[in-house]
Amino acid sequence: MLYRAKANLNLYSSTELNSLATQARAGRLLRLPPEWEVGKEPLLVTLVEDDYPAWLNPADEASLAPTDEAYRYSPLSEAEIQTRIPAVIAFAEAAYKTPNEYLWGGTVAPNYDCSGLMQAAFWSEGIQLPRDAYQQEGFVQPVALEDLQVGDLVFFGPAEKAKHVGLYLGEGRYIHSSGKDIGRNGIGIDELRLDGEEVSRNYFSQWRTGGRVVESYRSKHINV
């Protein structure tokens, strides 16, 4: 059964509901198991557009409305996506200029995590991305550092998988939402260089790869 969020929702990483996994902005589709009972206990739901599972607080079930409207996928060519990149960047820069802080799991303004900001910026122009940084890295077309172009994603992290992502602005600069430990506790603009200031050095020492968005993500589990 599909439901639509009537308000922005927090969704959690476990039944303890003490760690944010992601957020669902108003209007998003959620798939609920057919056997669910109202108000009983935390419920494992799936955000339809990016196939992302998370736990719903039963106190928020009133913010869901059943819908007969099916998931709709709108394919985009790489050329169409490129025409929308300036608006994607404008969204990220507007978020940067709005008072904000880093929020693990944040995908709704004003507070984002790194991949949440990327997802929100691209989705503002109808380009769907997977949720987490490592999922976004696996989805995009790989691009070497020397071949980056404006609008590419840039990925950082250990050898195992990407744990951080930003949006390339050109001339070695990228915009991203970073945490408190090695970042800015919010959205900032940094450089891909080891001899820059501290935050730039912190992330570039974990450089993995770049990636170009050449298609819009399509849900794997919902029939069009």
114 noted as active-site residue: yes
Q: What is the DSSP letter of 61?
A: G
Task: Point out the catalytic residue in the list 31, 176, 208, 212.
Answer: 176
CA angle 92, 93, 99 (to 5 degrees): 95
Task: Point out the catalytic residue in the list 28, 164, 208, 212.
Answer: 164
Rounded distance between C-alpha atoms, residue 80 and residue 223, angstroms? 24
Rounded distance between C-alpha atoms, residue 207 and residue 158, angstroms? 8
Spatial neighbors of 60 by CB under 8 A, at least 6 apart, are 9, 10
Rounded distance between C-alpha atoms, residue 221 and residue 224, angstroms? 10
Task: Point out the catalytic residue in the list 43, 48, 54, 114.
Answer: 114
Helix, strand, coil shares of the chain as percentages rounded to 5? 25, 30, 45
What are the φ and ψ backbone dihedral angles of 4, each rounded to 5 degrees?
-115, 135
CA angle 181, 21, 158 (to 5 degrees): 45
Which residues are catalytically annotated? 114, 164, 176
